Amino acid sequence: MEELERKIYYITMATLITVGVLSFFYIETSPSPYRPWDYKEIRKDGTIRFVTDFSMPGYFIDGDSTVGFQHELIVAVCQRAGLNYQTVVETHLSECFRYLELKAVDVVARNVPITSDLRAHYLFTDPIMLNRQVLVQRTAEANNGTAPIRNQIELGGKTVYIPKESPAIMRMYHLQEEIGDTIRVYEDPLYSDEQLIIMVAHGDIDFAVCEYEVAEAMMPALPQIDIATDITFTQFQAWAVRRDSPALLDSLNSWFAAMRADGTFDRIYNRYYHPEKLAMPTR
């Protein structure tokens, strides 16, 4: 438990420092005249540039090492491509897309939900994972005998925390209309899923809506949380590139397909989301 909290603390501090530096840099960056920048130009340059977010288990600093699901995918992709990589971090998804549009980066490498609105503006790789948003709350044993909410109607009058720009925000607004009651939704501008989950576990807040895969990965260290109540349907999530980068998209899909075929993708995925599967004997 203490080890998990230590990592969360360092993620928070690193995010604050790094985002501050990157925001200053990119605010001073203005769009340049249009020039093609697809896989041909990237291959000539020798480097793919990624933007992702600090998160567990996506991309974080553990001691002197950079680790995480997104980080290992980036490394594996570039090894297959024979290219170098540069990775910058940004908490807010809208800023990630701004960097993409400015051509400061080539790929948004994080779990981006594939929505019709985003599809109209960006190209998405083949889905990397299926995910959904769940209500994170405490178990009855950790909450003075109060049973977890199972019916979304019971959220009426409650305060629910979500990370800023969470894909769950529109669902929460629609849910208020469906139940005919007010849900006080607080979009936290600083904390990500991981920090909010720890806050629920410690009783600092009662409810948060977070990604199921992240919450499930944290459950072994936080047995007092309950994540059995779904808020959204399952969504495909993927990486995104500009619409003028179709060759880069095809290359990414080809590399991902090869990684799935030889087991590389599953090994990386299970290391962070389902480590118990790595210990299973193979036939």
Amino acid 5: pLDDT:
52
Question: DSSP assignment of 50-73, as one string?
Answer: EEE--BTTTBEEETTEEESHHHHH
Rounded CA-CA distance 67/58 in Å is 8
Amino acid 3: pLDDT:
53
Amino acid 54: pLDDT:
86
Cα 125 to the center of its chain, rounded Å: 15
Whether 250 and 112 share a structural domain: yes
**Count of domains observed in the chain:** 2
Summarize pLDDT for 167-205 with one digit per residue, the tens: 899 999 999 999 999 999 999 998 989 999 999 999 999
Residues of the chain with pLDDT under 50: 1, 6, 9-11, 13-28, 282-283
CATH of the domain at 143: 3.40.190.10
Whether 12 and 95 share a structural domain: yes
What DSSP state is assigned to residue 34?
A: P
Rounded CA-CA distance 223/139 in Å is 8
Amino acid 58: pLDDT:
84
Whether 153 and 195 share a structural domain: yes
Amino acid 101: pLDDT:
95
Whether 192 and 260 share a structural domain: no
Q: Which structural domain range is residue 31 located in? A: 2-130+236-279
Last residue in a domain, options 209, 230, 251? 230
The whole-model pTM stands at 0.84
Amino acid 274: pLDDT:
85
Amino acid 19: pLDDT:
42
Amino acid 22: pLDDT:
43
Tokens matching residue 39:
């896989």
Tokens matching residue 197:
């989950």
Last residue in a domain, options 230, 248, 268? 230
